[in-house]
Amino acid sequence: MSSQRMRLVKVGPSLSERLERQVAGAHHKAVVARLRRFRQGLEHDMKPETWTALECPAVLLLSDVCDALELLEEEKVSILGPEGMIALQCELAIHSGELNTRQVEALACVRKHGEITLSTYRAVCPHWSDETLRLDLADMVSRGLLVKNGAKRGVHYTLAEG
């Protein structure tokens, strides 16, 4: 008779591996909670100036931390909040060179005043034609950075909601 050999095969994680995952998961949740509280503290402490309008926005720092920690997209959204996600989108468009200098100035104006009209934009960029400025605004609407409100002479643009 031939002797049969039994071979043990590991089919799942060991107890120590499961514990490590639980500890890492708890640590991960704690980091997300601390980052969320950090953003909320910035929002609270920076009124009436918004935390997303800093010269070097904290939204970029928080986004980079989220990316470095390889957080899920929904965790990143919960940390930055809806306003932060829009601000991040604006910052990324600015830093990637997708927006021209006029559009950067328009976004700064919207952040400061809450909205922009063609006449306000004309005051910010007086050497450009109305058609060029309209095209800039339409481009930012198509990118999801601004929302067009109203019609005809009552048109004004606001930051998009998160």
CATH code of the domain in which 120 resides: 1.10.10.10
Tell me the chain's radius of gyration from C-alpha atoms: 24
User: How many distinct structural domains can be found in the chain?
Assistant: 2
At 71-98, the pLDDT tens digits run: 888 888 888 888 788 778 877 877 777 8
Classify residue 4: in a domain, yes or no: no
Residue 12 within any structural domain of the chain: no
* 8 lies in some domain: no
pLDDT at 6 > cutoff 70 = no
Backbone dihedral angles phi then psi of residue 10, each to the nearest 5 degrees: -75, 125
Shared domain check, 91 and 105? no
Average the pLDDT over 45-66 and give the result. 75
69, 95, 121 - which closes a domain: 95
Alpha helices in the chain (DSSP H): 15-45, 58-68, 73-95, 101-113, 118-124, 130-142
149 and 129 together in one domain = yes
Identify the domain boundary among 39, 72, 95.
95
Full domain range(s) for residue 89? 17-95
Q: Give mean pLDDT, residues 50-71.
A: 77
Reported as a single tens digit per residue, the pLDDT across 105-135 is 898 888 888 899 999 999 999 999 999 999 9
Do 91 and 22 lie in one domain? The reply is yes
| Pair 91, 83: CB distance under 8 Å | no
50 and 108 fall within a common domain: no
The gap from C-alpha 68 to its chain's centroid, in whole angstroms, comes to 15
Q: Give the sign of the dihedral formed by CA 123, CA 138, CA 157, CA 141.
A: negative
Same domain, 113 and 60: no
Q: What pLDDT score was predicted for residue 120? A: 93
